[in-house]
Structure 1
Amino acid sequence: MRIIVISDAWHPQINGVVTTLTNTRRALEKSGHTVQIITPDRFRTWPCPGYPAVGLSFLCGPRLRPLIEDFKSDAIHLATEGPIGFAARRYCREKGIPYTTSYHSHFHHYLKLRAGVPYSVSWTYLRWFHSRSHRVMVSTESLADELAFKGFRRLVRWSRGVDTELFRPWGKAFLRDERPIFLYAGRIAIEKNVEAFLRLDLPGTRYLVGDGPQRQELELKYPQARFVGYQSGESLARYMAAADILVFPSRTDTFGLVMLEALACGVPVAAYPLSGIRDVIRNDRVGVLEDDLRQAALKALSLDPQDCRRYAQEFSWETCSRQFLENLIPHAMGTA
């Protein structure tokens, strides 16, 4: 099958959307499928307000259309609701081409926190964007329930995986600071609630792997913490494996792929007991979920790293890619 995926998020961004699309494409191509991902690097971009490192491809429609037409795809998937996703939706609607979409991020939280956009405005746009999708792919059952309550329809599962060969127990010697080492990995931005982690009264050392618009502010405010910037590949896996606990302070994530990566490294998770997180940490032997994040982090120190590793091995990108493929709607199956 020839598949086009449209995404407003792509490298050099490091986030769950990019990781999911990269690994899904790799697994699909290994199975003999051809996948083209159309991303902002094909177009002129403008800095995202409040997050200039992310480029937005406004007015990309005239250049997007020939890219779609020349590829002669069997199926089209819109992975994000940004400007490229918007233009692709418009093209598919005009041409009567069926398409699927996926809901990755709670953008209504992001827009509220960064720009004060009312939730009602964001939800109205998101419902509209997905309203004519033949299937809306979501990562967890609780997210499907939440979106169904908000009026979304045709919701199907598209889970996540983890590369257990890359993310594995590399050993603790990589980091030589005072232990225990509590680590946060991800975007350093207001919607990730990173400061909740930094405010915790914890023993040992705190590490932050990642970058983002809040990094400079928080680095100045919390000089005792170790900020090491974006890491990827083996470097990221080694930082992860060298920690004692992954602390996941976000209250807005729909999945939290980094939790699976930590577990694959044999590192337990401490997080808030929210619905999306419960879908990932379904076993109390691999993570502690409490409203008191400090207590969760301290209790997680007693968990067995081998249990974490075994749990993560249940998730694979091959399974994820099969779900994605089964959810697609080939053009020949109908019109939008």
Structure 2
Amino acid sequence: MQRLKLLTFLLPICFLAACSQPSNFAEARSQSGSTKVAARTFTWNDRRAIGTIFLGNSPAYAPNNPRKWLNSKDLNLFTPAGKTEFRKRMMGLAAYSIHHLRQINAQGVIVFDVEGIEAADGAYTWVGDPRLLEERAPEMDEIADEFFQKFKDAGLRVGVTIRSQFMYPYQTPLPPRWWEKDKNIAHYWSYKTKEDAVKGISEKIAYARKRWGATLFYIDSNNDKWSDVIAKVQQQFPDSLIIPEHTNNNPDYLAFSAPLERVDAWKYDVNREHREQHPQGFKAVLIRDPKQFEQKYRISLYDYLLPKVQVGDVLMINVWYPEPYQQVVQKVYRDVYGDRCCTWNPKNRRS
């Protein structure tokens, strides 16, 4: 299995029968700027790690592999033999990822780029709209159901990236290297109203849930001032875990989502008061470039992650290759939960 070296950002299984499912909603109200949020505090007791998978690699563009799958310039997705090889490699990657997910006792996996990565860096990264899979990546559309089913058969939850924006209208099918011909095509536009945002995000999530049974969703490029958008999306899908990228340290997000923290880029600071206000609240801590993080902050990744897991946060880590920091994740969870990993009880939260 060839290791992918992705330039974009960034697994563990207690026996699923013993893991608590999200349930038991209680009414909560909070203040988000000038907008009042009527949300439901959700409960997600499974605090095992979540695996992350990136199927494309931005520098690897080739005319016969325009979605940059698997860092492979030798794939030819326009021939029957090439499609057969593509399926073989994707299923091999799934099996390899499941192996690493089991090593870290993960609850599930999020595939960040199920639609591939076609345009140049910075112009058009995550599509984040699984409804476009057949149109944007027909070769993946043909095998996506089988790909996700492998993880589900292994007892794992599955999920995808959902972009909190819409794409500028474009022609179909897209011509080769289309982003060089029309720059407008290569950009996303923010929703104009909160109602549009709720509708757009919810429709994308509903598709992934119906087709693959997805319940884990990374929300990319969301408007951090619109916390009530995420709250309303969570109300529609109470059995799903929503991980918004941007929160601007607003503690309201703890009531209805797992706010993202990236160890290499930004922190989501939660103090004791916030934890007390949201006893079931937790963050999703994405492990990316940990060596750079350790050099910058002069603290070991273990020492940084340990207190986060102690207060109930969930770790996210790459799993399609033998990420060396998987051992750190294993040790943190073992030291916090012992052999009874990882059903959360806020009474056991450590400050």
TM (norm. structure 2) is: 0.29
Task: Tell me which protein shows more helix as a share of its residues.
Answer: 1
